[in-house]
C-alpha cells in the first residue's frame, strides 16, 4: 500500500512539474471527437488544422514539417493520460482518441469564406484539401485529409463536393510515417465519384462560437492563393526517396504532388 502511495506521489509531482497545458475538447467548435475523456495537450490541438482550407503549399509544408512535431505532441497527450490516471467509464485506462472535422463549420463558415479562391485554384489545376480525421492510440497515429472538388449541378453552377485524398500513418514500432492512401487520379472538376457536403448547418445555437472561430481562422497565415510562377520553383522529391508505392496513378493536373518521408 505504501509503495502504491509513493508511486502516486511521484506521478503527481511529475504532473505538477511538467505543467501540461491542456485543452478541453468540448470547447473546440471546429471539430468533433470520440473519446471517453475530454482533455488533450494544447500543443497537439495547435498542430491539427481542423476547419482550415489547405492549399497545396500549406498541405506540403504540413506533411514535410509538421508531421514530425505531431509525434512528440501526441506522445505528450498519451503521457498525460497515463500519469493523470484518466480512465474510461469502466475504469480502464484511456487508450485512444478520434477527432473529426466539424461539417457545419467547414462547409458553412470556412469554405464559403474562401469560395472564390477555391474555385480559382481548382480551375487552375491546383488541389485544395482539408484535415478530415485524426486518430491516436497507444500503438499508432493516423492523419487523414479529404480533397475539395467542384461538380456541375442541375443549374449548370459549380458546387463544392469532396473525395478522399491522403492518409498518413505512424506506428510507434516502425518510427516513420507511411502514406497508406494517396488518391490523385480524379479530375478536380466533375469527378466520377464524390461526396456531397451537408446542405443544412447543424449550429445548435452555436452561431456566435462558429463566427468567433471563423474570425480566428481569418487571422491565420493561410492565404490559399498561389502565384502562377510558384510551381516553377518546386523541386519534386525523387521517386527513390519516397515511401511505399502510391495506391493510385499520379495526377494529370498541373500541380506537382509529392511527399517526403522523414528518416529517423
Q: Is residue 73 part of a domain?
A: yes
Say what the pTM is.
0.79
Give the per-residue pLDDT at 2: 56
Give the per-residue pLDDT at 94: 76
pLDDT bracket for residue 261 (50, 70, 90): very low
Contact 93, 86 (CB under 8 A): yes
Domains contained in the chain, number:
1
Q: Is residue 233 part of a domain?
A: yes
Rounded average pLDDT over 105-110: 97
Q: Is residue 263 part of a domain?
A: no
Range of the domain at 202: 2-241
Buried b (16+ CB within 10 A) or exposed e, 65-74: ebbeebbebb
Q: Is residue 165 part of a domain?
A: yes
Residues 252, 186: Cα–Cα separation, whole Å: 9
* Range in 13-27, 69-83, 232-246 the model is least confident about: 232-246
* Per-residue model confidence as pLDDT tens digits over 48-68: 999 999 999 999 999 999 999
Residues 216, 209: Cα–Cα separation, whole Å: 11
Contact 121, 58 (CB under 8 A): no
Give the per-residue pLDDT at 86: 72
Give the per-residue pLDDT at 17: 44
* Per-residue model confidence as pLDDT tens digits over 126-178: 999 999 999 999 999 999 999 999 999 888 899 999 999 999 999 999 989 99
Give the per-residue pLDDT at 226: 54
* Per-residue model confidence as pLDDT tens digits over 198-221: 999 999 999 999 999 999 999 887
Indicate the average pLDDT of the chain: 81
Residues 165, 148: Cα–Cα separation, whole Å: 9
SS3 state of residue 240 = helix
Give the per-residue pLDDT at 255: 41
Q: Is residue 74 part of a domain?
A: yes
Residue 218 cell numbers, joined:
481569418
Give the per-residue pLDDT at 253: 39
pLDDT bracket for residue 183 (50, 70, 90): confident
Q: Is residue 215 part of a domain?
A: yes
* Range in 3-12, 42-51, 105-114, 228-237 the model is least confident about: 228-237
Q: Is residue 258 part of a domain?
A: no
Give the per-residue pLDDT at 259: 36
| Residue whose C-alpha cell is 485524398 | 165
Give the per-residue pLDDT at 5: 52
Q: Is residue 163 part of a domain?
A: yes
Give the per-residue pLDDT at 245: 29
Q: Is the pLDDT of residue 249 over 60?
A: no
Amino acid at each position: 500500500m505504501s509503495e502504491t502511495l509513493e508511486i502516486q506521489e511521484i506521478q503527481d509531482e511529475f504532473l505538477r512539474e511538467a505543467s501540461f497545458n491542456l485543452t478541453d475538447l468540448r470547447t473546440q467548435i471546429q471539430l468533433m471527437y470520440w473519446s471517453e475523456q475530454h482533455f488533450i495537450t494544447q500543443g497537439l490541438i495547435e498542430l491539427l488544422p481542423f476547419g482550415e482550407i489547405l492549399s497545396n503549399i500549406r498541405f506540403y509544408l504540413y506533411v514535410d514539417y509538421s508531421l514530425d512535431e505531431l509525434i512528440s505532441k501526441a506522445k505528450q497527450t498519451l503521457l498525460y493520460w497515463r500519469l493523470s490516471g484518466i480512465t474510461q467509464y469502466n475504469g480502464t485506462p484511456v487508450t485512444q482518441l478520434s477527432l473529426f472535422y466539424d461539417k457545419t463549420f467547414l462547409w458553412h463558415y470556412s469554405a464559403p469564406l474562401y469560395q472564390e479562391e477555391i474555385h480559382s485554384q481548382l480551375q487552375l489545376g491546383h488541389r485544395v484539401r482539408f484535415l478530415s480525421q485524426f486518430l491516436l492510440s497507444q500503438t499508432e497515429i493516423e492523419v487523414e485529409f479529404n480533397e475539395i472538388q467542384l461538380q456541375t449541378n442541375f443549374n449548370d453552377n459549380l458546387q463544392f463536393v469532396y473525395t478522399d485524398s491522403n492518409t498518413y500513418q505512424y506506428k510507434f514500432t516502425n518510427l516513420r510515417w507511411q502514406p497508406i492512401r494517396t488518391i490523385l487520379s480524379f479530375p478536380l472538376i466533375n469527378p466520377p465519384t464524390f461526396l456531397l457536403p451537408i446542405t443544412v448547418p447543424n449550429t445548435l445555437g452555436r452561431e456566435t462560437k462558429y463566427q468567433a472561430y471563423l474570425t480566428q481562422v481569418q487571422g491565420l497565415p493561410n492565404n490559399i492563393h498561389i502565384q502562377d510562377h510558384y510551381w516553377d520553383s518546386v523541386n519534386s522529391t525523387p521517386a527513390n526517396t519516397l515511401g511505399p508505392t502510391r495506391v493510385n496513378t499520379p495526377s494529370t493536373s498541373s500541380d506537382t504532388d509529392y511527399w517526403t518521408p522523414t528518416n529517423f
